[in-house]
Structure 1
Amino acid sequence: MDVIQDYIEKCREIVTAIEDQKSEIRVAATWFAETILAGRMVHVFGSGHSRIMAEEMWPRYGSFPGFNPIVELSLTFHNLVVGANGQRQAMFLENVSGLAARILRNFDLSAQDTVLIISSSGCNVVPIEMAACFREQGIRVVALVTRKHAEQSISKRPDGKKLTDFADLVLDSGAPLGDAMVKIPGLETPVSPGSTVGGAVMINALKAEVARLLTEAGHPPTVLSGASTVGAERSAQLFEKAYDEHAHRLARLYQSVGESNPNGNV
């Protein structure tokens, strides 16, 4: 049994599943481009391993300003696994009601913003409440879930609502129920998840379409580019310019914090 080939073939199926969503990807990218052209930010949030997708969007080579990765270390720091700052605590905290609102209390949100929330199951409390908080502010919510997994999972919220219930648009990573894709003879449970592969393909398809729309609108993005591509001097210039733009956009998210929320509510 060639388990390597098995995993590769299943990844090809994931890519096909994402290709079938091109119309939905274009809609999401249009919303994101509108936000960036308005001088605002596309918020990107994921708890647990979904944090990977937030960082895949920005900042890294081939990416550009306009995205605000909301990465909470208490929900995503897995390196120690056990002990202080361990995985058990992170898994507990991503189901604490009210945490999403406290996170968003730090930002001056606008209806011009948009948000991409990533959660494979779409059933943990913090990502769901994050979507609900954004929706309350009139902000469009795009959810990236693993549809087969999300449909069969049970919400941790008492009312049973899932992330998809608060999304204006739902994208699918294309991974299977349970995420792990390869069955090994003699091993009880499958290994090698697929949602990260599907998520990365989806994120970069979105990124490419947003870049096209911004460029066609006369505002080509400042892309983080390596010296091997544009030369050392130009690479350094692009990095500095992109980081400065990110800082200026981020400043707008802080400049009026609390002024319209005197009671500290989102």
Structure 2
Amino acid sequence: MDVIQEYLDRCRAITETVEAQKSEIQRVARWFADTILAGRMVHVFGSGHSRIMVEEMWPRYGSFPGFNPIVELSLTFHNLVVGANGQRQAMFLENVPGLADRILRNFDLSELDSALIISSSGCNVVPIETAELFQKSRVKVVALITKEHSDQSTSKRSDGKKLGDFADLILDTGAPVGDAMVSITNLETPVAPGSTVGGAMLVNCIKAEVARLLTEAGHPPKVLSAGVVVGTEKAVELFEAAYDEHAHRLAKLYENVGKKADS
């Protein structure tokens, strides 16, 4: 029983699922590029392990400013597993109604913005409400889910709606129901999830296409690059410039917070 080969074969199938979504990826990239060219930001949110995809988008090597990574530690801090700040609390909090509103209350949203919401099941309350609130602000929402898993899962939201119900476009990781892809003889439950593989491919396909569009528009992005590729001095220059741009873009999300509510 070659479980390594089985996992690799399943990953190849995921690659085919991602490739079949090329036109959707291009459409998403156009929305995100338009947001960045307008001086605004693409909001990227995920609770639980979906945080992985948020950080895959920005900031890391090969990425660039224009994305607002919304990572709530109360929903994503898994290191301790049990005890204070444990996994039980995080799993409870990601299904608390109203928390999404408290998170987005920190930002002055614009219809020029766009958003990427990641949730493999698409069934937890906070990601669903986050997408709903973005749409109410006329922000285009892209949902990154595992479609087969989401279709067969039950929403934690009282009205039964899922993340896909509040998305302008849905991308599918291609992973199976339950996410885990390898079955082992005499082991009751499968192992080795696949949504991270598909999610990372989708995120980086989007990233590459956005970079192309920005460059063709005459605004090449400031890409975080390794010194071994561009030289130490240039790498430092790019990192500093990229972080500065991120700060300037982020400042726009804060400067009018509360003013509309108070007026």
Tell me whether the two structures share a fold, i.e. TM-score over 0.5: yes
Q: CA deviation at 1:208?
A: 0.2
Partner residue of 2:16?
Answer: 16
Distance in 1, Cα, partners of 2:144 & 2:261: 29
Aligned to 2:227: 227
Measure the CA separation in 2 of the matches of 1:207 and 1:16. Answer: 19
The equivalent of 1:150 in structure 2 is 150
Equivalences for residues 167-178 of structure 1 within 5 A: 167-178=167-178
After superposition, the C-alpha distances for 1:64-113 in whole angstroms (9 at most, x for unaligned) are 00000000000000000000000000000000000000000000110000
Displacement of 1:262 after TM fit? 2.3
Deviation at 1:261, TM superposition (A): 1.5
1:1-266 to structure 2, matched below 5 A, reads 1-262=1-262
Q: Give the TM-score taking structure 1 as reference length.
A: 0.98
CA deviation map 1:130-175 (0-9, x unaligned): 0000000011000000000000000011100000000000000010
* Alignment partners' CA distance in 2, 1:79 and 1:167: 31
TM-score relative to the length of structure 2: 0.99
C-alpha distance in 1, partners of 2:245/2:157? 38
What stretches of structure 2 of length at least 5 have no aligned partner? none
Give the Cα–Cα distance (whole angstroms) in 2 for the partners of residues 172 and 59 of structure 1: 23
SS of residue in 2 equivalent to 1:62:
coil
1:116 aligned partner, one-letter code:
L
**DSSP-derived class of the 2:171 partner:** strand
Q: C-alpha displacement at 1:118, in angstroms?
A: 0.2
Secondary structure of the corresponding residue to residue 130 of structure 1: helix
Partner Cα separation in structure 2 for residue 132 and residue 55 of structure 1: 22
Letter in structure 2 aligned against 1:195: S
Distance 1:146 1:189 in 2: 19
Which amino acid in 1 is paired with 2:104?
Answer: L
Task: Report SS of the residue matched to 1:260.
Answer: helix
Cα deviations across residues 205-263 of structure 1 (Å, max 9, x unaligned)? 00000000000001000000000100000000000000000000000000000000229
| Percent identity of equivalent pairs | 73
Q: CA–CA distance in 2 between the matches of 1:197 and 1:60?
A: 17
Unaligned runs of 5+ in 1: none
Aligned mates of 1:255, 1:154 — CA distance in 2: 39
Give the AA of the match of 2:212: R
Aligned residues: 263
Residue type of the alignment partner of 2:5:
Q
Q: Which consecutive aligned stretches of 4+ in structure 1 deviate over 4 angstroms post-superposition?
A: none
> What is the one-letter code of the residue matched to 2:245?
E
Q: Secondary structure at the match of 2:218?
A: coil
| 3-state SS in 1 of match to 2:262 | coil
SS of the residue 1:253 aligns to: helix
RMSD: 0.7
Q: Deviations over 1:24-83 (max 9, x none)?
A: 000000000000000000000000000000000000000000000000000000000000
- Matched to 1:66, the amino acid is G
